[in-house]
Each structure stands twice: as C-alpha cells, then as structure tokens.
Chains A and B, each alone.
Chain A
C-alpha cells in the first residue's frame, strides 16, 4: 500500500460551521486510491459531517475538496456516478421489497440490465439476503435493513465507497461477515472511507485511521504506528488516550 500514490480524496483546510459550533474544524487529509481509511471519534466529533461533505450532501463553510479528481461542489453530478454511499441512518423504502429497493437504485444509476442482474445476485448472496429478497423490507430486522442499505450503496460497483458506521446494530456474526465483505472490496482496489466505533476491526482492517475530536483531526496514521507512538497495546487505548474518557456528545 502506497500512501502517497494518486490521491483519490483530498480535503484542505475544510471547515463546516453549524450555527456557532465548528462541526468540522480545519481538516486536511489525503486518501490514496485503493486505500481503506477508517475515521474514528467520539459521538458528535464530526465524522458524519465529514462523510456528508465528501459525498456532496453538504457544502463546507470553507476549504477545498476533491473526490475522484472532481472538485466539489462544482462537479457534483460527475462525482455521484463514481461514489457509493451508505449513510449512518438506515435508509431503505419500507413499502418496497428488498429487490424493488435494489432495482430502484440500479435505475437511479441507469445501470444496464444484465450487469444489474449479475450485481444484484452477487450482493444478495454475499450479504445473506438472497433467500429473503422478495420479502417486504418493513418485515426486515434492523441488521437485515442495514445489510440491504450496503447493497444499495454498492449495486453500481462504485470506485469510491463511503460507509458511515456500516456495521452499526449488527450481531457479531453479521458484523464479521460484513467486515469480510469490506475486505473483499479492498482487494478489488476500491477506495474505502468508513467511520466506526469498533476499534478492533479498524485496527485489523484499515490501512490508516484518523481520530477526530471536536471537529479537529487529532491523529492520522497506520494503526501500528499509532499504537507504537502512544506506547499502548491496541487502537482502543490510543483512542481513549487521545480523545479522553469524558462523554462528549451534547457538550
């Protein structure tokens, strides 16, 4: 993994203000093509805001952003063709069945019919929804909806993938299989930007991790280097050491 290869995601001095708070406070970051980057941080640290800026959902107050060579917000339309986004909130249409949800997103990406069918089958199988694909999503469990949400993000085989807490609310089995799946995506040389609260998985899977707190990026490095530099045993200890023990949300 060459970190200094062609940068697929670039943020320079990005600031996002909501009323009086800086949700993102002067963040600069470069992520290489094919890199798997994990963004860690306490609740309310600004992770989701960063993801939303990178996938063009919100405009930064100031700063410079390019994704996949497209600068934002100018090339928004082009950007949306090459990214796949799984938002933190599970967003699936309850009144459609699983396949209809996938068909909608295949349609929104104007996919060719045969490619669509191949991808649909593949993803349904990999995420364990193949046998329940005709079921109304209303009747899905939280974990099943979450996995469907992942399929919707990936149906068009995007090069750049944003996953905001992809395994939130999943049991250990599903979580494990989803992480295995994400690992496969990495092997396909996809650029993956994810946020998570699962330190162990971030430690074993991510090429690099960034720790964000109060909107500031306080550390970026490989998990190994971070552990070494801070003289601790694992990433969770790094996290506690840097971000503290206090509950941050709503402060």
Chain B
C-alpha cells in the first residue's frame, strides 16, 4: 500500500518536473496565481477585500485543519487511543462555534459593504461610452459624438484559432486577447460605461479594472472605472458570459491614454467620421 503511494507520488513529481522543464511558452504562466491588483481606484479596493477574506480563510483553515490533523494523529486506535463515548454534546462549545463565526462574518461584511457603496457611487463621470455586445464582437460608441466602431478578434488570432489550424498559438502575439480596434479611454478620468447587448447576454470584463458587468438585450447596465493617471497602457479582458459558439473569441482590449493623447485621438476620430459622413443618419444606425 505505502509503496503504491510512494510510487504514484514519484511518478507525479516526475510529470510535474517534466512539465516545468518543457520548452517555455511564449510567456510562462506558472506565476499567475492571484487576482491582479489592477489599475483603477476600485480594482485596488476589490483586491484588498479579496486578500482580506483570503487571509481570514487561511486563519480559519489553520484552526480547522489543525484540529482535524491533531485528531487524526492523536487519537489513532493503532496508537492505543481509547474512545471517550460519553463526550456527545456540549452546549457551551456549540454556542462558541456559532458566535465566533458570526463575529468573523461581521468583520468581513463591514469593509465589503463599504467598498460596495463606493462602487455604487457613479457621480461625476466625465465620459460616457456605450458598449453594445453582439455575437461575437463589441461595439463602442462615444456618447455625445458620432464616434462609434466595432471591436473584433484580431486577424492573426482568428486564423490560429481555427480547428487544427496548424498555427502554434505561442507564435501569435497576445493569442485570443487582441482586437482590431481597441476601446480608447483617458487615464485619470472617471469613465462611465453603458453596457447592453443586441442578441444574447454577454459580460464585459477587464480583470485589471476590477469589474465585470452583464450586457443584457433590452436592458442598459451601468458601470464605471477610473484608471490611475500614471497607468496608461493596454489592458485586456474577455466576454465572461456564455454567449454561443464564439464566446471564447470576443476579447476586450482597452488602450488607456493620457488625457491629452485621448483628446487628440477623439478629435481625429471625429474628423474622420465627418469626412466619411455620406449618410446623414448617425447614432444607432451606424453599422
């Protein structure tokens, strides 16, 4: 018996070592163990909350698992343990292990409620973008302007993701996480998204922003984020609600620019729209 365990243990260790030694992927993922801290005001608070609950669980785990292991080690029949069959009930103990968890829950709930209230405070947003989900792409529309465009899976990824495409995903930059036209937003500005869908339910999720929100046909949902002013760059996410065949292939890319760069970008975009304005109808008919 013991030998079997040892043998399977060795075999498993060998497999793990072999995997670790395998030719490195485009980017190794072994270090990806935790939620990203993120780059927005809220994502950091959410990360803090996540870690707080995690450490509570570790602490409770030490007590509970410690107790289990102690009982298993200390009260073995093979070590001569004799059962105390009179120990069947203790009101005092049961009250204690009801009340202590309640206290811990309160300690968890209060900061969580605080963060929740912060999330709900959608005042003073400076820019509103309507995000409309389709099977299987996103449309971004800058409200108050005529700027609107679709964002779909980048061409290289799209070829490589065909069944038995023969293209090694490791050779494709940002495989499945790249789009033709990213969403562009300014850093340091409170941006509001109006999230909706045209066909089925989708969900807009960028982990570095700390949030996701479902895109539901016939319903408009609201979310906001404010990327730190110094955190310009490119952030990636994916549709997070099963939306049919290509659910895995409608990524989200957000280009976060400085305020000046963003203004320049938007002005250029508006000019381009005006030039292309052959048809007078705008807003919702843009396709």
Q: Do A and B bind?
A: no
Which residues of A are at the interface with B, using a C-beta cutoff of 8 A?
none
- Residues of chain B having any CB pair with chain A under 8 Å: none
